[in-house]
Structures are given as structure tokens and as C-alpha cells.
Chains A and B, each alone.
Chain A
Amino acid sequence: MIETLIQLLISGAVLGSIYGLIGVGFSVVHTATGAINFAQGEFAVLGAFLAISLTGADLPHFFAVIISPIVLTLFVVLLFRIFLTRVADDALYLVVATIALSLMLKTLLLYFWGREPIGLSSPFQGKTLNIAGLMLGYDQLLIIAGALIAYIFLLFFFSKHPAGKAMKAVVEEKEIAMASGLNPALYQGVAFAFGSLLGAFAGCLVAPVSMLSYNSGGLLGLKGFASAIFAGLDRPERAVFGGIILGVIESLVVLFVPSGFKDVVALIVLLIVLTLKPEGFLSGGRKRLA
């Protein structure tokens, strides 16, 4: 029993790291624009698919995983420059534009990569670590590591790096930021691109474990959004832990309820947390209107 429990905890942590990695992208975009990027899940799938195509062209796994997010980011920067700057100021319209974008991206994914799910061949060949009967695959381990790296990186970025501080400043008080010489559209664009970079990175890490299809973005996006909310949107890096908590809950819940109700329980926990702490479970505690 205890072994099962620990195994479930591990599974939950892996699942949660996936959610969290997608979730940080949401928070980062929200940090600068105040909007939710509904195409985040599609960005993750797009990142994974690009990496798959690159490995298909005989590029080593490692390079594919690095190049794919960069290519995607460039694409998003262009997209933002050409179209989205027009609505960057208005979170509501930006949200609608991302909803539309997710529909269009889905079709493009279907067109270029086909209807069937595809997986990224893993450099570890599905090898498994066996610690006293507990099983943990190397790929899974990599996902958890990726989530932690993202956490540390973002923590550093937002507290130390000038661009991170500027991004926070833009969303906190846009007009003062402008008066301080910051061009909000620039930082909104940067945040958007950065969010998609994180999404693509998440996609690349997830692809070896779970085969993705052009249609997978919706579910990933939903769980990522939940993780971001769980953690509080004002602290982007904490979405990683928001995701892990969500994943662990989902995983453990399976023990007690039929798995059809797994999500119901996870959502109810989320609702309770939101009612107790409206600004997010892990948030800094400062009340602010989202």
C-alpha cells in the first residue's frame, strides 16, 4: 500500500510538472499583458512537433529540443509585431485573438503533421530507474528536472534580470512604466514570445513520454491554466508548484474515487482553495485585481 502511495506521488509529480511547465507560460504572458493566452497548449504541441521534425531530419535530440523553441519564438515575435500589437493594450481582445489563434494553429498542425499522434523518440529508450521497487523512467525524471530548471530560471529572471523587472512594472502600473521610459508593447511582445518559448520547451519535454496529436493542446492548456491560477498569477515561477500540487492531487485521488471523477475532485479542491485564498494558493498574499 505504502509503495503504491509513493508510486502515485511520483506519477503525480511527473504529471504535475507537465502541467506546471505549461502553466508558467500562462503566468508569464499574464504578467505583462494581463491576458490569458488560449493558444498556449497549441504552442506546446507546435514546439514538440517542430522538434520531432528536426530529429526526423537527423538532428541530434539535444539540438532539436533547443532549436525548436527558438524557431517557435521567432514565429511568435513576428506574429506579435504584425498583428497582436494592435490589441496588446486590451487584454480582452488579446484573449479573443488567442482563442482564434488556437483554432488556426490546430488546423496548421493537422495539415503539416497529420491527424495521428506522434511521439518524440527518447534519447533514453524508455530506460527506467528502479529504486527499491519504485519505478521512475529517465524521461519522467527529465520532465521533473525541466520543471525545476524553469522555476529557478524564472525566479532569477523576475527578481534579478532588468527585463523581468520591467515586465512586472509594465503590468503593475502601465502608465508609470511608460513615464519611466518603458515601451509596454515591447515588453508585452517579449512576454508573449517568452511564454511561447516556455510552452515549446514544455512540449519538447513531454513529447517522449506522451505522444501528442494536433488536438492535444486543449487539455494541456486547460491543466496549465489551472496550475497557474492555483499558484496565483502574480508569481509566474510558482506555477511550477501549482502544477505539481494539481498533478499529485489528481494522481492520489484515483485511489479513492472512480477515475471518471478524478477531475471532479481535483476541480473541487481548486474551487475550495480559490474560495479560501482568492488570489491563488501560492501567491504572495498581496490582493490585487487580476
Chain B
Amino acid sequence: MNKKHRFILTISILILVLLLSLTSCAKKETNKTEERKPEVYKIGVILSLTGAGSPLGIPERNALEMLADEINGKGGIDGIKLELIIEDDQTDPAKASQAARKLIEKDKVIALIGSSVSPCSLAIKEIVARYGIPWMCPSAANAITEGDIKWVFRTAPKDAVAVEALLNYISKNTKYKRLAILHDSNAFGQSGADEIKKRSVDFNVEIVSIEKYETNAPDLSSQLTKIKQSNPDAIIVWGTNPGPAIAAKNMKQLGLNIQYFGSHGIANKKFIELAGDAAEGVIFPAGKILVADQLDDGDPVKEYMLEFASKYEKRFKEKPVTFTAHTYDALNILVESIKKAKSIEPEKLREAIESTKDYIGLDGTIDYSKEDHDGIGIDDLVIVKIENGKWIKLQ
């Protein structure tokens, strides 16, 4: 009796909901973009403006707003203005994918830019692959440009490039053979460390110990004490502030006097400010924008970078960092491609982006091709040393 009731109930609910699925399937989606000229070019932006990724996301957003204002100030693209729709993913991939769906489906943006940290970008990758719109990505994980890369274009140096630049420098210009790695446990630190470990053989160096720390850990002396015991020639610290600065201070305090190599995550004034004296002598790979004034006069990007830096400083009262360049270039390439394609039809826009050649941006010279959607190569990075609280270009 009772069981029968339950059965009937369950079945009726099942039927009810199945009905729903039929009715909603009947409404076929019409997702074609009209070929008429739109009133504005809507660009979707997803960045980590709060949460652990915000030190990346906020400068990235600043650069975009500055560029969009500039373009619109000049009348937009052939008279059509740009509109940025910016969403915060709170450094949570689940929110990033929802944001991507919203921007594509509801706001009908013509292209996406984002997100700041790799897990969020990887979440977006799934969505973009499904809907097929061009996507400019400013984050670093190798996996972003592996597999299906049809819609994704990267403007940031991927982990592999930054690691290669640093290891290349260490093996060619120094005599350090025994290296220790200390890295953040977040995506940036973990992928960096994995990459160093993988490439160490190619560059003939030995990794004698690997230690990690949680983002925002207040003290790193226990990890460093263990590293000290393994007796390395030099240490590579891969992370974003404040971890590397705490490590530098802790090293000094523990009397661990070995060469400190960093990542491009410390390519900002903040690191020098936080670490103080302990920052002296630190060597790390960085985008050219960091030392734009020290570039050879013949370098095609020098002028451009200096101009950008002064504009950025004027508006935001702070120096631009490596990350600002990634989104700035992304939007610029997008704008150029819209002009070139004379269409916002996804496939045509994508082809226009893919045909970008010798684009001179803040990150360096960007070339895309059918097989290569990574714009930045090892030549676009420089090795920088901190001396007297200033960056000195080494290569």
C-alpha cells in the first residue's frame, strides 16, 4: 500500500520533469550573431578582482579600462564604441565559468578576455570551446594552450617560457648546479615548480630539495631550515607576494646566504618594498616593461612601453606590472583584429587574430599561427637583478 503510493509519487514527478525537458528542447536556440553592424562592440572581461588572484586581476582591469577609454575617446573603432563588461570571479573557477556563460549567452559579447589565474582560465576554456568565441587569455598554465586551442590566444608568457628563461640564465651565466625550490602551493607556484623540475635535466642542474608553503603563510623559516640542510648552491622561489618577500627576510634571519632566484611573480615594486634589504641581489625573469628605460634604443618596444608606463602611472598612481601588459595587449590585438576582419562573426574574428604577425606590444613581439597560440617567446623576457632597490637588466 505504502510502497505503491511512493512509487506513484515518484513516477508522477519524473513524468512532470521529463515533460519540462521536452517543452524546453522544443524551443531551439537561435544563437547566430547578426551580420549587421552592432551599436557597440561588447567585450566580456572576467578577472580575479577579489580573493587570492586580486594582485593580478586589479592591474589587469586597470589596463583594460585605460585602453578602452582611450579608444573610445578617439571615437571607437570606425565610429563604433567599445564596451567592456567586467565580472569578478573571486578567484573561484566555478564562478569564472558562470561568468563566461553569462557574458556569452546573455550579454552576447563578441570576445572574452580573462581570467587572472590559471584554474579560472581553464574553467573558461571549457565554456569557450562549447560556444566558440575568440578568447584572449592572460594567465600562465601550460594546459591552456594544449589540446583544443582553436579559440584561445594567450598574451602572457606561459610557465614553460618563464622557467626556460631563468634556467637558461642559470646554466649559462652562473656556476650554480645544486638548486633548491621553494614555491607557493597555488596554481602559479605549483606549475612553476613542476616545470623547473621537468626542465632541470635539459639545463644540467640538480634539484636538491623542493618545499612548498600555503599562500599567505606568516612564516617560512621551517621550510627554509630544511632547505638549508640540503645544502644547495642557490634557491628558486616561485610565487607571488608576499611569500617570496617573507622567504627573503627569513633567509636573511636564518643566515642562509645563497643566491636567490625569483619568478616573474615578484616583478613589481612591492617585492622590493616588502623585502627591504633582503631583496638585494635577487635575480628573476620579467617582461621587458619592467626595465623599459634600460632596453637598447634599437628595441622596437622601448618607446611604446615608456609611453604606456607614464600614462598608466599618471592615471593609477602606481607603476605598471607585468600583468598589466597581458590584458593591454589582449585588448589591443582584439581591436586590431576587429578592424582587420571588418566583422564580428566569431570565425572571421578568430582568423583575424590568428593571422596577427609581428604585433609589437607591451609583452614583446607577438606572433600567432595556426599551431601556435602563444604569443610570447623566451626572447620577450629579460633577466633582472635587484641592486640598491632598483631593477638592473642583466641580459
Contacts and interface: CB of A to CB of B under 8 A. Distances in A.
Nearest to A253: B222
Nearest to B255: A135
Nearest to A127: B253
Contacts of A12: 222
Interface stretch (B213-221, B352-360, B379-387): B213-221
Contacts of A8: 222, 225-226
A194 to B, nearest CB: 23
B132 interface: no
B277 A126 contact: yes
Contacts of B217: 210, 219
B278 A115 contact: no
Interface in A92-116: 106-107, 110, 115-116
B306 interface: no
Interface in B19-73: 50-52, 54-55, 58
A7 B242 contact: no
B219 A135 contact: no
Interface stretch (A74-82, A175-183, A255-263): A255-263
B253 A140 contact: yes
B194 to A, nearest CB: 12
The residue in B254, B268, B277 that gathers the most chain A C-beta atoms within 10 A of its C-beta is B254
Contact of B242 (A11, A128, A213, A263): A213
A62 to B, nearest CB: 20
B219 A215 contact: no
A106 B49 CA distance: 12
A126 B222 contact: no
B358 to A, nearest CB: 34
Question: How many B residues are at the interface, by size bracket?
Answer: 35 or more
A215 B252 contact: no
Contacts of A206: 218
A140 B221 CA distance: 11
Given A15-B222, A107-B50, A115 B255 contact: no
Contact of B55 (A116, A212, A219, A259): A116
Interface in B310-333: none
B211 A126 contact: no
B52 A210 contact: no
A209 B249 CA distance: 8
A126 B276 CA distance: 10
A4 B255 contact: no
Contacts of B213: 259
A54 interface: no
A278 interface: no
B274 A119 contact: yes
Contact of B226 (A115, A135, A137, A254): A254
B242 A126 contact: no
A110 B216 contact: no
Nearest to A10: B221
Contacts of A135: 253-255
B228 interface: yes
Contacts of A237: none
B242 A212 contact: yes
The residue in A117, A135, A212 that gathers the most chain B C-beta atoms within 10 A of its C-beta is A117
A126 B274 contact: no
B221 A211 contact: no
Contacts of B171: none
B163 interface: no
Contact of B50 (A110, A128, A137, A255): A110
A267 B253 CA distance: 28
B242 to A, nearest CB: 4
Contact of B241 (A15, A116, A251): A116
Interface in A176-229: 206, 209-213, 215-216, 218-220
Contacts of A15: 218-219, 221-222
A14 B217 CA distance: 13
A116 B241 CA distance: 7
A219 B214 contact: yes
A17 to B, nearest CB: 10
B223 A254 contact: yes
24 contacts: A8-B222, A11-B219, A15-B221, A18-B219, A106-B50, A107-B50, A117-B270, A119-B274, A126-B276, A130-B255, A135-B255, A209-B218, A209-B219, A210-B219, A213-B216, A215-B51, A216-B216, A216-B218, A219-B215, A220-B216, A254-B223, A254-B226, A258-B210, A260-B185
Interface of B: 50-52, 54-55, 58, 185, 210-219, 221-223, 225-226, 228-229, 241-242, 245-246, 249, 252-255, 268, 270, 273-274, 276-278
- The 6 A-B residue pairs with the shortest CB-CB distance in the complex, in nearest-first order: A117-B242, A210-B218, A211-B242, A251-B222, A11-B221, A11-B222
